[in-house]
Each structure stands twice: as C-alpha cells, then as structure tokens.
Copies of this chain bind each other. A is one copy, B any other.
Amino acid sequence: MEVKEALFMNRGEGENSYAQNSSFTQKVASMTMPVLENAVETLFSKDFHLLQALNVVDLGCATSPNTFTVISTIKRMMEKKCRELNCQTLELQVYLNDLPGNDFNTLFKGLLSKVVVGNKCEEVSCYVMGVPGSFHGRLFPRNSLRLVHSCYSAHWLSQAPKGLTSREGLALNRRKIYISKTSPLVVREAYLSQFHEDFTMFLNARSQEVVPNGCMVLILPGRQSSNPSSMESCFTWELLAIAIGELVSQGLIDEDKLDTFNVPSYFPSLEEVKDIVERDGSFTIDHMVGFELDTPQMQENDKWVRVEKLAKAVRAFTEPIISNQFGHEIMDKLYDKFTYIVVSDLEGKIPKTTSIVLVLSKIIG
C-alpha cells in the first residue's frame, strides 16, 4: 500500500464525509486559536513592515471547515495590526496542503463560500492556493514561507513502520493494527523509529522553506504518558482492531490481512517530540504544552447516540485507509461493530485525547 494514495479523509460533503464529521479537530483548533494569534503578533513585532505579503501554509488541511477558521484568524489578526500600524493594504497568501488524494474540489467549493478571497476592498487581500503533496518532502521553494500551521496531521507517517515481520515472514503485531498492550517491544520501537524518521524529514523540509525568524504552530495528537500503549493514545486503533478481529472470526475478513496491517500513524509523547526537534536543530521551541480534551460526543447523555456519533467521526478519518486494506464492502459492518463494542464493553466511555501544541521559530543563519 502506498500511503500517499490511500491516506485521505472521507471525501465530499455527505453523511460520512470528513467535512461533516470533524467537530473534534474544530474544537482543538478553537482551543489553540490564541496560540496562533500570538504567533501572528510575534511575526509582526519582528519585521513585518518589510513584507509585501505574509505567506502561510496549513499542512494537512483536509476538507474540514477548520482550515477556513485558521485563515480567518490570521486575516483578522492582520487587519488588527494593519489598523494599529496604520498601514496600507496588506496581502495574505495562504497555501492549503494535503496529499493528492485529498478532495480539493470540495475544499475549494467550501472555501469560496466561507472566506473572502481576492482583493475585495478589504484591508487584507487574501489569496488562497491548494498544494497537493506530502509534507514529509519539500513542497515550496526555499525561504518562501513565514508561518506554518498544522493541526492533527503531523502524526501521520509516510509509511507503516518497517520491520514488523519476522525473518520467517511472520507478522509481529498479530491481531493488532497499532501499538497495543499485547504488542511485542519491537512494535513500539518500530513505530517510534518511523515517527522519528518522518518528523525529522518534516522539520528538514520546513527548515529550507521557512524564512529565518519564521514560525511554525503545530498541533498534534499525542500522549502525556510515557507508555505508548496507554488507552489515551491507542483507543481508536485498539477498538478498530478488536472490531476487525471479530469480523475475522466470522470469516468476513482474511486473518492475514489483519495481521499484516499496521496503521501509518503515531501519537508521540511530549518528550519524544521535544527530543526530535532538538536533535534536528533548525528550530527553537518557543512554546510547548500538552492538554487533554473530551471528544465533543461526550456531551451526549445517551450512550448509543454518543457512540454512534463517535463512530461517524472515526469513520470519517479512518475509512479510506482501512477500506484500502479490508475492502469497501465490509465498512458498514465494521463501524457498526466498533459502535457495539464501545457501548457494550466500555459502556460508552470515551477516554480524553491529549493534544500537543508546539510553537517553533526558525533559527537565523
């Protein structure tokens, strides 16, 4: 499986689409908005009067309304600064990036109905472009970005961790699709190693694209615990693996397909992220914090309603990569099974999710 081709959020604007089922990342984005506002303030305080245009990218933007909130926030901050500094029209160039499989048609359609694009007699003229490609490699010319934003994207890996089959060709993470309590140590090591490699490539590419003093605001799902198999970070994949396992027992999915599949995603700890940034050495850490958040579905009192909504949200971001491995025809059954397990085994209790917020500045020289 080529991750570049199989990894995207559910397309379109229908019932199962990511566009309709991304309330959690929207909640995260609104919680972290002050951090983004502060980053724009800081850019202005440095040398913004020198600029013709502020070039910003949202990496892994998907098709969620989230990315429009990000654009609006930056634009609003620029308008405020524009008034404070009594300057002429400023220009904002926003790049929206995701893998080529992302539904850019839906993204652009939503964009033009929600964001004022062009120079429509406003203080800040806003120009938006879509950039298809992997953020693990270069996407932009040298020194062409001043601000990088990414929310719930940088945890996706460029490939499933390597080395998860034995010399004899046996799967080492049987019956699981991510790190689990029962996974052997080699699985944890392989995941951390792949994340280390990928996040280093991410930082390396950005270090060439971001101007000195430029800023990155990265928000990624992670964990407070040093244990990578804690429920806080494994919940979704653990429960999906159990659901897939039951379909294997029913003869609906080939066991081998489950045993050989490992999700290209990793929820790091704060220390792991800090370690990689420091080893890379191109950026300084201005701010780093982890915070816990309930999923929005927890507001529902009825456990069935709650978990059905959760299953829709999970489906919106997991279905393309899961169906690529296990087949489209089994998806309805799989997410029904997922719902049933969360309700019956966990009584509808959904653990909090930890987010890591990271503000980095590009080192000069």
Q: State whether the Cβ of A127 lies closer than 8 Å to any Cβ in chain B.
A: yes
Provide 25 A-B residue pairs closer than 8 Å at the C-beta atoms, listed in order of the A residue.
Answer: A52-B143, A52-B144, A53-B142, A53-B144, A91-B141, A91-B142, A93-B140, A95-B129, A100-B108, A100-B111, A104-B130, A108-B130, A111-B132, A112-B132, A112-B133, A118-B137, A118-B138, A119-B137, A125-B138, A127-B131, A127-B141, A128-B132, A128-B133, A130-B130, A130-B131
When distances are taken between beta carbons in the complex, the residues of chain B under 8 Å from A133 are 112, 117-118, 128
Q: Mark A283-324, 1 if CB is under 8 A from B, else 0.
A: 000000000000000000000000000000000000000000
Complex: A143 Cα to B93 Cα, angstroms: 13
Is A167 an interface residue, CB under 8 A from the partner? Answer: no
Cβ of A46 within 8 Å of any chain B Cβ, yes or no, is no
Copies of this chain present in the complex amount to 2
Cα–Cα, bound, A139→B91 (Å):
11
For the complex, is A109 an interface residue (Cβ under 8 Å from B)?
Answer: yes
Q: Report how far A209 CA is from B118 CA in the complex, Å.
A: 12
Interchain CB contact under 8 A, A93 and B53: no
A101 to chain B, nearest CB (A): 8
Q: By the criterion CB–CB under 8 Å, are B132 and A118 in contact?
A: no
B contact residues around A112 at 8 Å (CB): 100, 132-133
Further pairs besides A95-B129, A108-B130, A127-B139: 8, Cβ < 8 Å: A52-B143, A105-B105, A108-B132, A118-B133, A125-B141, A127-B140, A128-B133, A129-B131
User: Which residues of B have CB within 8 Å of A128?
Assistant: 131-133
Whether B109 lies near A100 (C-beta < 8 A) is yes
Which residues of chain B are within 8 angstroms of A95 by Cβ–Cβ distance? 129
**A137-163 interface bits toward B, Cβ cutoff 8 Å, 1 = contact, 0 = none:** 111111110000000000000000000
| Residues of B with C-beta under 8 A to A118 | 133, 137-139
Q: How far is the CB of A63 from chain B (nearest CB, A)?
A: 11
Identify the interface centre among A93, A111, A130, A137: most chain B CB within 10 Å of its CB. Answer: A130
CB neighbours of A52 from chain B (8 A): 141-144
Q: Which residues of B contact A41 (CB under 8 A)?
A: none
| Cβ distance A360 to chain B, nearest Cβ, rounded Å | 22
Which residues of B sit under 8 angstroms from A144, Cβ to Cβ? 52-53, 93
CA distance A130 to B140 in the complex (A): 13
Tell whether A103 is near chain B: CB-to-CB under 8 Å: yes
| Residues A77-119 near B (CB distance < 8 A) | 91, 93, 95, 100, 103-105, 108-109, 111-112, 117-119
Contacts of A91 in B (CB 8 A): 141-142
Contact partner, A130, options B93, B125, B129, B143, Cβ 8 Å: B129
A52 to B55, alpha carbons, bound, how many Å?
16
Q: How long is the Cα–Cα vector from A365 to B103 in the complex, in angstroms?
A: 42
What residue of chain B has the Cβ atom nearest to residue A209's Cβ? B127
Bound: A140/B55 CA distance, A:
11
Interfacial chain B residues near A105, Cβ < 8 Å: 103-105
Chain B CB count within 10 A is highest, among A111, A142, A143, for A142
Say which residue of B103, B111, B137, B141 sits within 8 Å of A53 (CB atoms): B141
Chain B hits for A137, CB < 8 A: 118-119
The residue among A91, A105, A117 with the most chain B CB atoms within 10 A of its own CB is: A105
Kindly identify, within residues 266 to 281 of chain A, every residue whose CB is under 8 Å from any CB belonging to chain B.
Answer: none
A91 to B140, CA, bound (A): 9
Q: How far is the CA of A128 from the CA of B131 in the complex (A)?
A: 7
Whole-angstrom distance between the Cβ of A50 and the nearest chain B Cβ? 14
Q: Which residues of B contact A93 (CB under 8 A)?
A: 140-141, 144
